A = this chain, B = another copy of it.
Amino acid sequence: MKYPNGIKKDTIFHNINYKNRGMDLEDDLNVTNQYYREEDKAYIYKKPTPIKIVNVDYISRKAATIKEAYFMEPSTTDYNGIYKGKYIDFEAKETKSKTSFPLNNIHPHQIKHIRNIYNHNGIVFLIVRFTTLDITYLLFGKDFLYYIDSCDKKSIPISYFEEVGYKIEYKLRPRVDYLKIIDEMYGGI
């Protein structure tokens, strides 16, 4: 059983590990998605982390403690849901690099998933935060797949995000308003 790349130690000790900025990308997206739900705008959720349960202390129907379990590699992206009747799907990642987004952040299964969703006319994208620079980009699945198919499978330079991605400005509410970019791109939906 392996500890997958995509799962950071930070996410486990979530409550005690805050970055200087105050919130990490996952927190920002959680409050953003909650805002969208409160506004009845979109229903988009983070999927639970996949876990293989090996041993459970099964005290009663109402109380059970998992005593042994392992992290599993996700076979899909982390976030999906519905916006204006359309299927929305994305993966969110942070990198400390100032120059490029390392592709070992994204599992092969997830790349395949992004391709499948794109081919089936879902709205699929990445949200990538360059934490050192404190800049967050949205990169559509189409542009992500174009890059890894025709250029480089190891990393995507930040210049590619600047050129074909969409910068997401921070706001008070919602904090990371990625649906604004979806509205601009898919005006008619």
Binding site for B on A (CB under 8 A): 1-3, 9, 12, 37, 40, 42-43, 45, 47-51, 53, 56, 58, 60-71, 75-76, 80-89, 113, 116-117, 119-122
Considering only CB atoms, which chain B residue lies closest to A72 in the complex? B48
Chosen A-B contacts, 8 in total, with CB atoms closer than 8 Å, are A3-B60, A3-B64, A45-B76, A47-B48, A83-B120, A85-B120, A87-B87, A87-B88
A1 partner residues in chain B, CB cutoff 8 A: 63
Copies in the complex: 2
A3 partner residues in chain B, CB cutoff 8 A: 60-64
Given contacts A48-B47, A49-B51, contact A117 B65 (CB under 8 A): no
Considering only CB atoms, which chain B residue lies closest to A85 in the complex? B121
Most buried by B among A9, A63, A120: A120
Q: Is the CB of A85 within 8 A of B82?
A: no
Q: Is the CB of A85 within 8 A of B122?
A: yes
Give the CA-CA distance A61 to B71 in the complex, in Å.
Answer: 11
